[in-house]
């Protein structure tokens, strides 16, 4: 039975919400307006985001309140049955519960009849979230790709389809429990933020960096949305409460120029201080390139497509002079994913030091979470690569400290020393493009990097741009 549950959860992207989350974070915001709305959850699961409202209604009034003010939907019959039993536990007769809790695929078939009632709709939900890329890889989920057709084809996740459905149907008030990538993601979330936040403002958000659902490591936030009087593309300001081992309050400003992405100090720095002649480079050594450059020169590599659970497979490749020189002269790789240990954080590293080989091969599919070798074109001296490595890691750690790593994507929860994050390849490129690769600047840069003074390093980069030229010591 349990195994079947696991499969269903993966298929539907379902994560049941605990009553405690509702009572702690949502109920205080709505408890004074319970009689003013029709409370609905279009992805209700067991009903734990709406039914606990009944605790605030006197027992003798619950049945009439339920009929007038609550309506729930779920795609699965099993969940509808659970929600019905749940409603009965609050004293609602079963026949009444079944009138207002019904089976329906609300992404495909929005229940427009709820819009015509006596009270305006207030939608509180923990919608399904399954990333489109993940759906495509899983045979059992492939049929879900049908949801992403027509005008919603550009969106990247099921929860985004749910939000756009509410937007299209004019819902004024919503509380959504959704992946934090809605606020902090780049490629996965730029489109939904651009489209959605033209119509809605965020009144507040709770951002969780600890686990709140039993069955998912997805980092989530609770966003309180209110529709604007008229659509407008403007800066949004709201208070966020970040919840980890403690609660931290912070004012977030989402700017249209940054696709309304939160944690934008990093984006502003890398776009404003891109060097006028940035280093050019590419990612990945592929099997295709090796096949085209066969020869007699041996080079040692790890193959990141072959992993035995502990380490990557080591191989010797025989290549021509051109590829031999290219592999041997590019000594750096990017670790895009934190390991959970301080010495294994995302950043640039020396291939030889970490893996004891010359290069990093990807023989099958390219995954952004693998270690990835960098190839500079034209090539740059080894001492400059070493300086770049230290520069890159200092800039990265500076912005991780400044923004609490918000510009990075949370990977998943673990019992590690810090919340594990993922650094996107576009972000890797953006940091490298701020590196001032010019002979006159490298000596000064090396001195600052050696001091490990990140503040001074950032000031130095800003000075290059503000003066247009640097007065060398």
pTM of the model: 0.69
pLDDT tens-place string over residues 177-209: 998 889 988 778 999 999 999 999 999 999 987
% the chain with pLDDT above 90: 67
- As a whole number, mean pLDDT of residues 11-31 equals 76
pLDDT band at 143; cut points 50, 70, 90: confident
**What Å distances lie between residue 173 and 123, 169, 226, 268, CA to CA?**
6, 12, 5, 32
Boundaries of every domain in the chain? 2-263, 281-467
pLDDT band at 309; cut points 50, 70, 90: confident
Short-list 105, 126, 119, CA closest to 171: 119
pLDDT band at 10; cut points 50, 70, 90: very low
pLDDT band at 458; cut points 50, 70, 90: very high
Per-residue pLDDT at 412: 56
pLDDT band at 8; cut points 50, 70, 90: very low
Per-residue pLDDT at 467: 61
Per-residue pLDDT at 1: 30
Q: Which residues pair with 70 in a beta bridge?
A: 39
Rounded CA gap, 290 and 283, in Å?
14
Short-list 402, 437, 405, CA closest to 424: 405
Per-residue pLDDT at 263: 74
Per-residue pLDDT at 5: 43
Rounded CA gap, 176 and 88, in Å?
25
Instruction: Please give the mean pLDDT across all residues of the chain.
Output: 88
Per-residue pLDDT at 208: 87
Short-list 90, 166, 91, 157, CA closest to 125: 166
Rounded CA gap, 253 and 247, in Å?
19
Give Cβ neighbours of residue 258 (< 8 Å, ≥ 6 apart).
264, 267, 268
Per-residue pLDDT at 250: 87
Is the pLDDT at 418 greater than 80? The verdict is no
Per-residue pLDDT at 260: 93
Per-residue pLDDT at 468: 54
More confident residue, 268 or 378: 378
pLDDT tens-place string over residues 338-356: 887 878 899 999 999 999 9
Is the pLDDT at 466 greater than 80? The verdict is no
Is the pLDDT at 147 greater than 90? The verdict is no
| Secondary structure (DSSP) of 132-192 | HHHHHH-GGGGGGGGGS-GGGTT--BHHHHHHHHHHHTT--EEEEEEETHHHH-STTTHHH
> Which range, of 26-30, 154-158, 406-410, averages the lowest pLDDT?
406-410
More confident residue, 251 or 65: 65
Q: How far apart are the first and last CA of the chain?
A: 72
Which listed CATH number (3.40.50.300, 3.90.1150.10, 3.40.980.10, 3.40.50.150) goes with 2-263? 3.40.50.150
Per-residue pLDDT at 76: 95
pLDDT tens-place string over residues 425-434: 999 999 999 9
pLDDT tens-place string over residues 266-275: 888 998 999 9
Is the pLDDT at 472 greater than 50? The verdict is no
Tokens of residue 473, six digits:
């010591």
pLDDT tens-place string over residues 218-254: 678 999 999 999 999 999 999 999 887 778 898 999 9
Q: Which helix (H) or strand (E) holds 83?
A: helix 77-89
């Amino acid at each position: 039975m349990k195994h079947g549950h696991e499969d269903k959860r993966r298929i539907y992207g379902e994560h049941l919400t605990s009553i405690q989350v509702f009572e702690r974070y949502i109920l205080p915001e709505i408890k004074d307006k319970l009689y003013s709305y029709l409370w609905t959850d279009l992805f209700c699961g067991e009903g734990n985001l709406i039914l606990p409202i009944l605790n605030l209604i006197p027992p003798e009034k619950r049945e009439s309140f339920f009929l007038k003010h609550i309506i729930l939907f779920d795609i699965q019959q099993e969940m509808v049955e659970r929600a019905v039993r749940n409603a009965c536990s609050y004293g609602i007769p079963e026949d009444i519960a079944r009138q207002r809790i019904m089976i329906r695929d609300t992404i495909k078939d929005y229940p427009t009849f709820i819009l015509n009632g006596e009270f305006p709709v207030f939608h509180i939900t923990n919608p399904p979230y399954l990333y489109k890329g993940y759906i495509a890889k899983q045979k059992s989920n492939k049929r879900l790709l049908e949801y992403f057709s027509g005008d919603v084809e550009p969106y990247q996740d099921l929860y985004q389809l749910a939000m756009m459905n509410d937007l299209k149907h004019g819902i004024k008030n919503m509380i959504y429990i959704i992946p934090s990538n809605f606020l902090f993601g780049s490629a996965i979330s730029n489109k939904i933020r651009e489209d959605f936040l033209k119509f809605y403002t965020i009144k507040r958000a709770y951002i969780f960096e600890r686990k709140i659902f039993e069955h998912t490591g997805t980092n989530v936030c609770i966003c309180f949305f209110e529709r604007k009087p008229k659509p407008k593309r403007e800066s949004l300001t709201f208070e966020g409460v970040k919840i980890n081992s403690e609660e931290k309050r912070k004012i977030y400003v989402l700017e249209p120029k940054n696709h309304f992405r939160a944690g934008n100090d990093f984006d502003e720095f890398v776009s404003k201080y891109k060097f006028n002649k940035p280093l050019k480079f590419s990612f990945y050594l592929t099997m295709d390139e090796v096949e085209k450059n066969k020869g007699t020169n041996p080079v040692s590599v790890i193959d990141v497509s072959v992993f035995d659970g502990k380490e990557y497979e080591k191989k010797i490749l025989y290549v021509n002079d051109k590829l031999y020189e290219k592999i041997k002269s590019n000594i750096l790789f990017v670790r895009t994913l934190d390991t959970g240990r301080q010495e294994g954080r995302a950043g640039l590293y020396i291939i030889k030091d970490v893996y004891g080989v010359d290069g990093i091969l990807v023989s099958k599919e390219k995954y952004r979470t693998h270690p990835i070798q960098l190839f500079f074109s034209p090539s740059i001296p080894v001492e400059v690569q070493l300086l770049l490595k230290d520069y890159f890691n200092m800039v990265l750690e500076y912005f991780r400290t400044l923004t609490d790593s918000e510009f990075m994507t949370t990977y998943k929860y673990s019992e590690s020393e810090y919340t594990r994050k993922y650094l996107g390849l576009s972000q890797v490129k953006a940091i490298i493009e701020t590196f001032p690769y010019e002979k006159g600047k490298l000596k000064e840069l090396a001195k600052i990097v050696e001091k490990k003074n990140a503040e001074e390093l950032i000031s130095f980069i800003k000075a290059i741009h503000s003066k247009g030229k640097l007065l060398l010591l």
